[in-house]
Amino acid sequence: MKSYIYQNIKFLVGNDIKEVSKKTGISKEVIKEITLRIHIPTPEQICLFSDYFNISTEILLKKELKIKKNVPPIKFLVIDVDGVLTDGGMYYTEGGDEFKKFHTRDGMGIKNLTEKGFPVALLSSGFNKKIIQRRADLLKIKYVYVGTEAKLNILSKWCKQLKIKMGEVAYIGDDINDLEVIKKVGLSACPADAVDSIKRHADVITDKKGGNACVREFIDNWLLNTIK
């Protein structure tokens, strides 16, 4: 079993071993052994940890909660829209008008950044710019692109405008058209229901799915720790 499961459990448990033992039924000795990488947890114990912390076993087994690589100070957050800020569904009224559902907690997390002057962008390969622009205006997001040009090209232009390096960008996306950007930026993330090729390359896999406050999770748990 790969070693990062120990890091994940240690990160989640912290110093609260007694409480975790009480809630999960796993002995304090076993929990200590797990966090010290001495004992290999059984599948049943992994499931107990998953249930207790309300975090998927996939994340425990496949992706570290702590980021291994050295992340430079992040100066720009770029967010994919469909499948990240939304659940990826396509919704239409009887009259044929499209609408999208956004999560209020994502909005609050983003607005907390923009109101402090931290640059945020929405980068979409979709086609309904009006809806996305309205959301951007509400959240005071200055940088918005909706169209078919390669996302990496658009991001490169924004980096030049802001006079920052690609390594100083954080990005969250969910599908194959995000892969080029995921590979280039300093800090990358994807929602829990992203496609496998994105999960394999992202630094962070959120526990939340797209449209279900995954952006807020990324901001609160990872991005804020890198902003200087």
**Is residue 68 in a domain?**
no
Per-residue tokens: 22: 């009480």
- Shared domain for 151 and 193, answered yes or no, is yes
- Shared domain for 129 and 207, answered yes or no, is yes
Which of 101, 156, 91, 100 has its CA nearest to residue 123? 156
CATH number at residue 176: 3.40.50.1000
Give the C-alpha separation, 169 to 52, whole Å: 33
CATH number at residue 43: 1.10.260.40
| Exposure string for 30-52, b = 16+ CB within 10 A, e = fewer | bbeebbeeeeebeeebbebbbeb
Residue partners of 211: CB distance under 8 A and separation at least 6? 83, 84, 85, 86, 87, 88, 89, 101, 102, 103
**Is residue 167 in a domain?**
yes
Which of 166, 179, 154 has its CA nearest to residue 75? 166
Q: Which of 14, 38, 62 is the last residue of a domain?
A: 62
Is residue 176 within 8 A of residue 82, CB to CB? The reply is no
In this prediction, residue 93 has a pLDDT band, given cuts at 50, 70 and 90, of low
Phi, psi (degrees; rounded to nearest 5) at 23? -75, -35
Give the C-alpha separation, 165 to 137, whole Å: 26
pLDDT in tens, 35-60: 554 445 566 666 766 666 566 665 55
Give the C-alpha separation, 135 to 163, whole Å: 26
**C-alpha torsion sign, points 125, 130, 133, 138:** negative
Per-residue tokens: 39: 């004992």
**Is residue 23 in a domain?**
yes
- Shared domain for 164 and 95, answered yes or no, is yes
CB atoms inside a 10 Å sphere around CB 118? 17
* 35 or 219, greater pLDDT: 219
pLDDT in tens, 155-173: 999 999 999 999 999 999 9
Total structural domains in the chain?
A: 2
Residue 39: domain span = 4-62
**Is residue 70 in a domain?**
no
- Shared domain for 94 and 125, answered yes or no, is yes
- Shared domain for 14 and 43, answered yes or no, is yes
In this prediction, residue 4 has a pLDDT band, given cuts at 50, 70 and 90, of very low
- Shared domain for 219 and 166, answered yes or no, is yes
